[in-house]
Structure 1
Amino acid sequence: MPVKYVCRNCGYTLYNFDKVGQDFYGVRTPSEIRSIFGGKCPRCGKPLNAPAIEDVKIIMKKKITITIE
């Protein structure tokens, strides 16, 4: 399942994890993303805070239908 960290102010993609094996560390935590960028968004300069439960969005991809005859 892909994981994407986005600035809530300007929408800049801070980090995108697409698949297992993408890198050695795996999915980074919000605190790791904050420390990578020095606590501020590189585009707009707003402080990066931990996401609230309302900030987490789960988006379903296209539904796959398998027909067996």
Structure 2
Amino acid sequence: MPVRYVCKNCGYELYRFEKVGQDFYGVRTPSEIKSIYGGKCPKCGHPLGVPSLSEIKIALRKKAILATS
């Protein structure tokens, strides 16, 4: 399951972590993402912040269930 950081104003994807071994650092923190972009969304200019627990969404991928006859 990927970890995605998106701008809460425009929905622009700031960062995506797909799998272990993708890069040397692993999953970045919200503070690191904020510092990479200078505290503003590159698309809309909205100030970036650290999300509260109520703003974090967890969604599981649904697996296809194969019907056997």
Fold equivalence (TM over 0.5): yes
| 1:21 and 2:21 matched | yes
1:53 Cα deviation after fit: 0.9
Tell me the TM-score normalized by structure 1: 0.88
Q: Which residue of 1 aligns with 2:7?
A: 7
Alignment of structure 1 residues 1-69 onto 2, 5 Å: 1-63=1-63
1:65 Cα deviation after fit: 5.5
Opposite residue 21 of structure 2, the aligned amino acid is G
1:8 Cα deviation after fit: 0.2
Gaps of 5+ in 2: none
Q: Stretches of 4+ moved more than 4 A in 1?
A: none
Larger RCO: 1 or 2 (CA < 8 Å, sep 6+): 2
Tell me the TM-score normalized by structure 2: 0.88
Identity %: 67
1:64 Cα deviation after fit: 5.9
* Structure 2 CA distance for aligned equivalents of residues 50 and 43 of structure 1: 18
Give the length in aligned residue pairs: 66
Gaps of 5+ in 1: none
